[in-house]
Amino acid sequence: MEESSEMQTASRSQAWFCTTGLASDVLVEVGDVIFHLHKFPLMYRSRRVCELITDQEEAEKEEESGEGEGEIREEKEEDGVVERRRISLPGFPGGSGAFEAAAKFCYGVKIEFTASNVVPIRCAAEYLQMTDDVSENNLVGRSERFFANTVLQSVRYSVRALMACDGDLLDMADELGITERCVDSIAAAQTLGSGDRSGLLGWPINDGAGGGTRGGRMKGASSRSSSAAATAVLSDSWIEQLAALSLPVFKRVISAMKARDLSSDLIEGSLISYARRSIPGLSRSSKKKSSGSSVPSEQDQRELIETVVSNLPVEKSSSSSTNTKFLFGLLRTVNILRAADSAREILEKKIGSQLEQSTLDDLLMPTYFYLVETLYDVDCVERLLLYFLDGLRQRNAAERDGEDGGGDGRSALLAVGKIIDGYLSEIGSDINLQTEKFCRLAFTLPDQARVFDDGLYRAVDVYLKAHPGISETERESIAGIMDCQKLTLEACTHAAQNERLPLRAVVQVLFFEQLQLRHAITGSFVPGEQQHGTEEEDDSGGRGRGWGPGVRNSQVMRLDMDSMRNRMEELEKECLTMKKAIEKIDRTGRSGGVCRKGSLSKKIGCKFRTQVCDSQERNIIEITDGRSRRTEL
C-alpha cells in the first residue's frame, strides 16, 4: 500500500492506493483523501460498506451522486473493462487516518494499538459496523479488548485516551462509553490513592465491547483518599497531562471526581494546574508557549475561568499560602476578563475563608474599572474582610458547640489585622481615596484584631501627609480610627510631636503617654523596694546566694528610671507650653467675645485636670484654679 502525493484533477484530493497488483474497483472518499480499494475485503469485514455496495438502487441514482452520506455512483474506465463504484463517507469519525487503519485491517495488516490511536480506531470500527457477528475477531472486539486491558489500567494511558476524544470524536466516544470509562479510571485511581504510573494492578478486565464490567471494576473504590496520598498523587506527571484536555472533557473529569467524593485538595490542585496551563499570563512561573500555539480568545478564557472557579471546593484548603496567592491571581483575571459576578463572588468567599494566609502584595489589586478613581480595589478588600469575619464567627460558633476547627481563630484575626494595617498604610498615599472609605475599612475589624494600634497610627500619618487639604472634621475622623490607649511608648512619642495630627488627638496622646509613664514608674518603685527588702532578709541566711542577679537588676532599673525621669521632664515642658498656648487662645477668644469659658476644653474633648509630674520627687502636683495640692504617690 502506498499514498500518492498526486492531486486528482476531478476531486483535487490526495489519492491512496492499495498495491496488490489488482485494479481497484471501489473508491472511498474520506475527507480530502480518496482510497482506491477493493470491495470484497471491505464487504467481508464491514457491514456498512457491504450494504452500500450491494444496494443497486442507490448506485443507479446518478443525479444524487456526491450528495449525502453513503452515496454511490458507478464509474467506467475508458476501455470499458473495470467498473468502479464511488463511496463518500462525510463526517467519518477519526478522519482519513482512522479509515486507513480500518482499511489495512481489512487487508490483513497488523495494527499496532496505542493509547492515542485506539479511540479513533474504535470509533471508526463502530461506524463501519466491523463487529464479530460480521467476521470473527473483528476490529471492534480487538480495539475494545486493548482499551479495556491496557488503557483503563493506567492513569497515564487513560489521560492520553481522553485527549484523543477531543474534537469530532467526543460525541461518538460518549455513545460508546469511552469518555465515561476513562474518567472513572482516573477518578477511581485517585480514590484508591494509587501513585503507580505504569498501571493499577488487581482490577477486573473488561473483554466485552460495551464496558459491562465497569461497575464491577469501580466497586469498592468510593472511600476518601487520605491527605498524604492526595499530596503524592498531585506530584505525579499525569496531573500535567490532565491539564492538556479540552474544556468539555476536563469538566467531566472534575464532575466524576466530585461524584466520588474525592479529597477537596486533590480537586483544587487539578483545577489550579489546569488553569495555570490554559489561561495565558495567569502564572508568572509558567513556561512560555511556543510561537505556533494559538492563544484562546477572550470569550474562551472567560468560559474557562468561570468553569474552574465554579468547581472550586468550598472547603478551606489545607495547603500553604501558595494556593491563596494563586486564587488572588484568578481574582485579578476574573476582573480583567469581566467574568460573571458569580465567579467573582465564589473567589472572594474562597479567599476570605483563608485570608490569614495572604500577604500584603496579594491585597494590592489594581482597579480595573474605569469609573473607579482609586488606584487599588479597596471595595474588593472590604468584601474579603467581611467574608473572613463571617467565617470566623462560624468557626467560633463551632468551637463553642464542641466541634473542631475554631481553635486558631484568635491567631487568624491578629494576622489579618496586621495585614489590613499594612494595607491601609499603602493605600493611604492615594490622593483619590476618600476619607469615608478609608475609615470604613479601618473600622471593619474589631478591637480584638489589634494588640497595639501602632500600625493604624502609621496609616493615619501616611493618609494625613498625602491629603493636606482635607478639612479639620475629616482630620479628626481619620485620627479617630486609632485608640490612643493602645499606642506603644514609641508611637506616643512620635505622635506627640506630629504636627499633622489634630489638636484633640495630640492632647489625648500626651495624656495617655503621661499615664503610661506614671504607671511604669510606680510599678518600678514597688518591686524595687520589695526586692531590696528581700535581699536584706536573705542576707542574714546567706549573703552570697542571689547577690549578683539582684545587683544587676537594680542597675537595670536605675537606668530605666533615669530614662523615664528624662522623658517626664520633656513631657512637663511640653505640657506647660501647651497650657500657655491654650490660655493665650482663651484670652483671645474672651476678648473677641467668641468663645465662652471652657469652650476649648469641650472642643478638645478631654475632661481631666492638668497634672504635672515632678520628676525629681515621687509626687504629683495637681493645678486647680491657681491653687496647688501635692499628692504623695
**Tens of pLDDT along 403-457?**
555 457 889 999 999 999 999 999 999 999 999 999 999 999 998 999 999 999 9
With a threshold of 0.75, does the pTM exceed it?
no
> What CA–CA distances, in Å, run from 562 to 347, 514, 526, 574, 585?
56, 16, 16, 19, 35
Measured distance CA(132)–CA(138) in Å, rounded: 5
Helix (H, G, I), strand (E, B) or coil at 143: helix
| 600 pLDDT above the threshold of 50 | no
**Tens of pLDDT along 601-628?**
444 444 444 343 443 333 433 433 443 3
Q: What per-residue confidence (pLDDT) applies to 528?
A: 43
Q: Which of 459, 522, 447, 458 is nearest to 486 (CA)?
A: 447
Interior angle at CA 619, CA 614 and CA 625, nearest 5: 75
For the chain, what is the radius of gyration of the CA atoms? 41
Which ranges constitute the DSSP H helices of 499-546?
Answer: 503-541
Q: CB neighbours of 376 closer than 8 A, spacing ≥ 6?
A: 364, 365, 366, 367, 426, 427, 430
| 25 pLDDT above the threshold of 90 | no
Residue type, position 28, single letter: V
Name the more confident of 22 and 222. Answer: 22
| Residue 571 CB-density burial (10 A; 0-12 exposed, 13-18 middle, 19+ buried) | buried
> What CA–CA distances, in Å, run from 173 to 93, 103, 148, 181?
10, 21, 14, 10
Domain ranges of the chain: 2-98, 117-285+296-333, 355-482, 510-537+549-632
As a whole number, the mean pLDDT across the chain is 74
Q: What per-residue confidence (pLDDT) applies to 86?
A: 81
